[in-house]
């Protein structure tokens, strides 16, 4: 297949256009992805997540520089939110990364969430596979600015970076479940601002509590690290990258059992997710084409039938292919 060949050769135009097809859920996509899959597994995937405005894009830009200085190639997936009202989106993360635009070994792609929750897009895994198959050494996945439980990126990335700034992650926030639990490396960005010691201490305590509650084999896992950066000035980003490499070496070295367990859970989730979205996509398509949804609403208004009954009825008929 021509598309597969071109993507494997690293052809930017073909890759860029195929990524659009993934995003738009075009019918031919899974056939191409099937053929690309055997050529994936080379790239090391780094997830970057955190609240809006903490400096994720700037940090990504700096990591690109460090990776390029080492002569490695890099793909970047940058995610911004879709407007729930119009379905449109402004994808502006590139502004901070545009200095790499002319470097053929840097491929940056902006994606819109399109209603997908969890900080990523429905297409992210596929796009990662495309960049991997293109031969990128590193892939950086920058999530949409997230809140407390958008943690999907940990299922895509080898190393997950949680970016914070001084004044965030106070005592109470830090012990809540969610985003802080998925970090392999905590990056305190804008570390020249006041309150940085307090933030570092709070995260440190959280990590220690987390470790002390671990039992048995979980104890052999990775202990999250805290790094300080001033991404805008490039301060601490080399050290951060070195720490990512330490994490990588751990995952593929002494932590290999821990990594395998993590990978199994991730692959399981991914497969489930794929099945779910395919079933769901198919059913919703049928439902929307059939006009049954409006018919059901009619019953709700005219015949006073409750939505729970209507829902059960529709599902029943979808399952029996009556819709």
Partner 1 sequence: MSKRKIRILVAKPGLDGHDRGARIIARAFRDAGFEVVYTGLHQTPEEIVAAALQEDVDMIGMSSLAGAHLYLFQRTLDLLKEKGVEDIILTGGGIFPEEDIEKLIDMGTKAIFMPGTPLDEIIKWVRDNIEPRKGL
Kindly list the residues in this chain that would bind partner 1 in the complex (CB under 8 A): 3, 12-14, 16-21, 24-28, 32, 82-83, 85-92, 94-96, 98, 101-102, 107-110, 112, 114, 285
Residues 119 and 79: beta-carbon distance below 8 Å:
yes
Q: Please, which residue, 111 or 200, has the CB nearer to partner 1?
A: 111
3-state secondary structure of 188: strand
CB within 8 A of 247, min separation 6: which ones? 158, 159, 184, 185, 222, 225
How far is Cα 95 from Cα 56, in angstroms, rounded to an integer?
12
How far is Cα 167 from Cα 173, in angstroms, rounded to an integer?
11
Q: Please, which residue, 15 or 164, has the CB nearer to partner 1?
A: 15
Q: Please, which residue, 4 or 45, has the CB nearer to partner 1?
A: 4
Cα distances (Å, whole numbers) of residue 160 to 97, 192, 245: 20, 23, 12
Q: Give me the least distance between CB of 88 and partner 1, in Å please.
A: 4
Q: Give me the least distance between CB of 40 and partner 1, in Å please.
A: 19
Q: Please, which residue, 177 or 284, has the CB nearer to partner 1?
A: 284
Q: Give me the least distance between CB of 35 and partner 1, in Å please.
A: 13
Q: Please, which residue, 83 or 309, has the CB nearer to partner 1?
A: 83
Residues 37, 154, 110, 234, CA torsion sign: negative
Q: Give me the least distance between CB of 13 and partner 1, in Å please.
A: 6
Q: Please, which residue, 24 or 218, has the CB nearer to partner 1?
A: 24
Q: Give me the least distance between CB of 274 and partner 1, in Å please.
A: 16
β-strands 74-80, 106-112 pairing:
parallel
Q: How is residue 170 annotated by DSSP?
A: -
Q: Give me the least distance between CB of 87 and partner 1, in Å please.
A: 5
């Amino acid at each position: 297949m021509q598309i597969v060949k071109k993507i494997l050769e690293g052809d930017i135009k073909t890759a860029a256009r195929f990524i659009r097809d993934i995003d738009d859920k075009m019918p031919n996509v899974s056939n191409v992805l099937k053929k690309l899959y055997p050529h994936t597994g080379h790239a090391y995937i780094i997830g970057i997540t955190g609240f809006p405005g903490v400096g994720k894009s700037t940090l990504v830009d700096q990591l690109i520089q460090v990776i390029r200085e080492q002569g490695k190639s890099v793909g970047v997936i940058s995610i911004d939110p879709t407007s729930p009202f119009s379905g449109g989106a402004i994808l502006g993360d590139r502004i901070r990364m545009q200095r790499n635009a002319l470097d053929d070994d840097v491929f940056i792609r902006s994606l819109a969430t399109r209603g997908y929750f969890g900080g990523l897009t429905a297409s992210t895994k596929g796009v990662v596979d495309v960049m991997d198959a293109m031969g990128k050494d590193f892939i950086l996945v920058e999530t949409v600015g997230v809140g407390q439980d958008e943690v999907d990126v940990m299922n895509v990335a080898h190393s997950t970076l949680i970016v914070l700034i001084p004044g965030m992650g106070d005592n109470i926030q830090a012990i809540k479940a969610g985003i802080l639990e998925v970090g392999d490396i905590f990056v305190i960005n804008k570390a020249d601002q006041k309150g940085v010691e307090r933030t570092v201490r709070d995260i440190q305590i959280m990590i220690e509590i987390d470790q002390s509650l671990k039992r048995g084999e979980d104890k052999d896992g990775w202990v999250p690290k805290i790094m300080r950066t001033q991404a805008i000035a490039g301060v601490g980003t080399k050290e951060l990258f070195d720490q990512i490499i330490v994490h990588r070496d751990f995952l593929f070295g002494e932590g290999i059992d821990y990594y395998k367990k993590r990978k199994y859970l991730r692959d399981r989730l991914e497969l489930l997710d794929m099945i779910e979205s395919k079933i769901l996509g198919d059913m919703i398509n049928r439902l929307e084409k059939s006009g049954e949804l409006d018919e059901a609403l009619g019953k709700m208004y005219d015949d006073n039938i409750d939505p729970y009954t209507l829902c059960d009825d529709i599902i029943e008929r979808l399952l029996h292919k009556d819709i």
